[in-house]
Amino acid sequence: MKLMVLDGNSIINRAYYGIRPLSTRDGLYTHAVYGFLTTLQRLTEEEHPDALCVTFDLHAPTFRHKAAESYKATRKGMPEELAMQMPVLKEVLDDMNIPRYELEGYEADDLLGTISRRCEHQGWDCVVVTGDKDSLQLITEHTKVKLVSTRMGQTTTKDMTAEAFQEQYGFAPIHMIDLKALMGDTSDNIPGVRGIGEKTAMGLVQVYGSIDALYDHLPEIFTAPETPAKPGVVKKLTEGKADAEQSRFLATIVTDAPLEFSPEENLCRPPKPELYDLFLQLEFSKLIEKWGLRPEGAAAQEKRQGDVAFEAVADSVRAEELLELWRRAEYVAVLALPDLSAVAVCCDEQVSEFFFGSFAGDWNALLRELFSAEVKKVSHNVKDLMRLLLENGLDTEGFVFDTALAAYLLDATAGSYDLGRLVMTYYNEELPKALYLERDAFSLLGDTQQAKASFARYTAAVAALYATLRPQLEQEELWELFETAELPLCPVLAEMEQTGFRVDGGELKRFGEAMDQRIQELEAAIYQMAGMAFNINSPKQLGEVLFERLGLPPAKKTKTGYSTNADVLEKLRFHHPIVEAVLDYRQYAKLKSTYADGLLKVIGPDGRIHTNFQMTVTATGRLSSTEPNLQNIPTRTDLGSEIRRMFIPDEGNVLVDADYSQIELRLLAHIAGDKAMQNAFLHHADIHTATASQVFGVAPEEVSHEMRRRAKAVNFGIVYGISPFSLAQDIGVAQWEAKEYMEQYFATYSGVKRYMEEIVERAREKGVVETLYHRRRALPELKSSNYNMRSFGERVALNMPIQGTAADIMKLAMVAVWRRLKREKLRSRLVLQVHDELIVECPAQESETVERLVKEEMEAVAHLAVPLTAEAHTGKNWLDAKG
* Domain CATH for 791: 1.10.150.20
Domain that holds residue 442: 297-476
pLDDT tens track for 478-494: 999 999 999 999 999 99
The whole-number pLDDT of residue 198 equals 79
Question: 562 and 515: one domain?
Answer: yes
**E strand spans, 648-756:** 653-660
The whole-number average pLDDT for the span 38-63 is 88
Q: Are 676 and 751 in contact (CB under 8 A)?
A: yes
Give the model's confidence band at 406: pLDDT under 50 very low, under 70 low, under 90 confident, else very high. very high
Q: CA angle 318-341-370, nearest 5°?
A: 45
Residue 443 belongs to some domain of the structure: yes
Confidence of residue 641 (pLDDT cuts 50, 70, 90): confident
Residue 570's Cβ-side half-sphere holds a number of Cα atoms within 13 Å equal to 8
Q: How far apart are CA 128 and CA 149, in angstroms?
A: 14
Which residue stretches of 375-477 are H helix?
382-391, 403-410, 419-427, 449-475
* pLDDT of residue 731 exceeding 80: yes
pLDDT at 425: 86
Mean pLDDT throughout 565-586? 89
Determine the pLDDT at residue 356. Answer: 63
Please state, in angstroms and rounded to a whole number, the distance separating the CA atoms of residues 639 and 637.
5
**Minimum mean pLDDT range among 15-19, 311-315, 477-481, 704-708:** 311-315
Instruction: Evaluate whether residue 481 is within a structural domain.
Output: no
- Identify the weakest region by mean pLDDT among 88-102, 124-138, 783-797, 863-877: 783-797
Q: 527 and 472 in one domain? A: no
Give the pLDDT of residue 303: 36
pLDDT at 661 over 50: yes
23, 139: one domain: yes
Element housing 256 (H / E)? none
pLDDT, tens digit, 9 for 90 and up, residues 292-330: 887 765 443 443 333 334 444 544 556 777 888 888 999
User: With 80 as the cut, is the pLDDT of residue 568 above it?
Assistant: yes
**Which conformational region is residue 234 in: left (phi greater than 0), alpha (psi within -120 to 50 degrees), or beta?**
alpha
Domain boundary among 770, 800, 830: 800
Residues 326 and 455 in one domain: yes
- Main-chain dihedrals φ then ψ at residue 327, nearest 5 degrees: -65, -35
Count of C-beta atoms within a 10 Å radius of residue 817: 25
Give me the DSSP letters along 148-162.
EEEETTEEEEEEE-H
Predicted pLDDT of residue 129: 95
Please check whether residue 728 lies inside any domain of the structure.
yes
Please tell me what DSSP assigns to residue 433.
S
Residues 6 or more apart whose CB falls under 8 angstroms from that of 309 comprise: 350, 351, 352, 456
**pLDDT value at 881 more than 70:** yes
Residue 22 maps to which CATH number? Answer: 3.40.50.1010
From 393, 395, 616, 619, select the one nearest 487 (Cα to Cα).
616
With a cut of 60, say whether residue 585 has pLDDT above it.
Answer: yes
* Beta sheet of 154-160, edge-to-edge order: 100-101, 51-55, 2-7, 125-130, 143-151, 154-160
Average confidence (pLDDT) over 379-404 = 95
Domain total of the chain:
4
Sign of the torsion formed by the C-alpha atoms of 715, 717, 721 and 723: negative
Question: What does the alpha-carbon distance between residue 856 and residue 819 come to, in Å, rounded to a whole number?
Answer: 13
Co-location of 516 and 391 in the same domain? no
* Separation CA 427–CA 17 (nearest Å): 30
Which DSSP string do the residues of 788-829 spell out, in sequence order?
HHHHHHHHHHHHHHHHHHHHHHHHHHHHHHHHHHHHTT-S-E
What is the pLDDT, as a whole number, of residue 504?
A: 96
Mean of all residue pLDDT scores within the chain: 86
Residue 45 has pLDDT above 60, yes or no: yes
The whole-number average pLDDT for the span 842-854 is: 97
How far apart (Å, rounded) are the C-alpha atoms in residues 272 and 263?
20
Asked whether the predicted pLDDT for residue 229 surpasses 60, the reply is no
Give 75's pLDDT tier (boundaries 50, 70, 90): low
Q: Are residues 455 and 534 in the same domain?
A: no
Domain shared by 690 and 761, yes or no: yes
Q: Do 697 and 549 share a structural domain?
A: no
Name which of 417-431, 437-451, 611-625, 741-755 the model is least confident about: 437-451
Give the integer Cα–Cα distance in Å for 101 and 492. 59
Q: Strand, helix or coil at 573?
A: coil
Q: CA-CA distance, 501 to 613, in Å (whole number)?
A: 13
Residues 138 and 55 in one domain: yes
Give the pLDDT confidence score for residue 331 in this predicted structure: 93
pTM of the predicted structure, to 2 decimals:
0.79
* pLDDT at site 836: 92
Q: What tens digit of pLDDT does each residue of 140-179 get? A: 999 999 998 866 557 788 889 999 999 888 888 999 888 8
Domain contains 485: no
Distance CA 352, CA 349 (A): 9
What does the pLDDT read at residue 148? 87
Confidence of residue 67 (pLDDT cuts 50, 70, 90): low
Query: In the predicted model, what is the mean pLDDT of residues 358-367?
Result: 63
Q: What is the pLDDT of residue 189?
A: 64
Of 567, 602, 637, which closes a domain? 602
Least confident interval from 332-336, 423-427, 642-646:
423-427
Is residue 659 in some structural domain?
Answer: no
Q: What is the mean pLDDT of residues 353-368?
A: 65
- Cα separation, 24 vs 10, whole angstroms: 23
Both 18 and 128 in one domain: the answer is yes
821 within a domain of the structure (yes/no): no
Give the mean pLDDT of 781-799: 84
Q: Pick from 578, 584, 587: which is nearest to 532 by CA?
A: 578
- Residue 523: inside a domain, yes or no? yes
Residue 595: CATH number of its domain: 1.20.1060.10
pLDDT-based confidence at residue 63 (cuts at 50, 70, 90)? low
Q: Are residues 779 and 705 in the same domain?
A: yes
501: three-class secondary structure by DSSP: strand
Residue among 75, 177, 74, 103 nearest 135 (CA): 177
831 occurs within a structural domain: no
Per-residue pLDDT tens for 593-606?
989 999 999 999 99
From 266, 288, 311, the end of a domain falls on 266
Question: Is residue 353 within 8 Å of residue 347, measured between CB atoms?
Answer: yes
Would the pLDDT of 6 be above 90?
yes
815 against 575, higher pLDDT = 815
* Residues 591, 680 within the same domain: no
| Contact (Cβ atoms closer than 8 angstroms) between residue 616 and residue 404 | yes
Q: What is the mean pLDDT of residues 793-811?
A: 94
Query: What is the structure's pLDDT at 244?
Result: 79
**654 beta partners:** 842
Closest CA to 363 of 319, 322, 329: 319
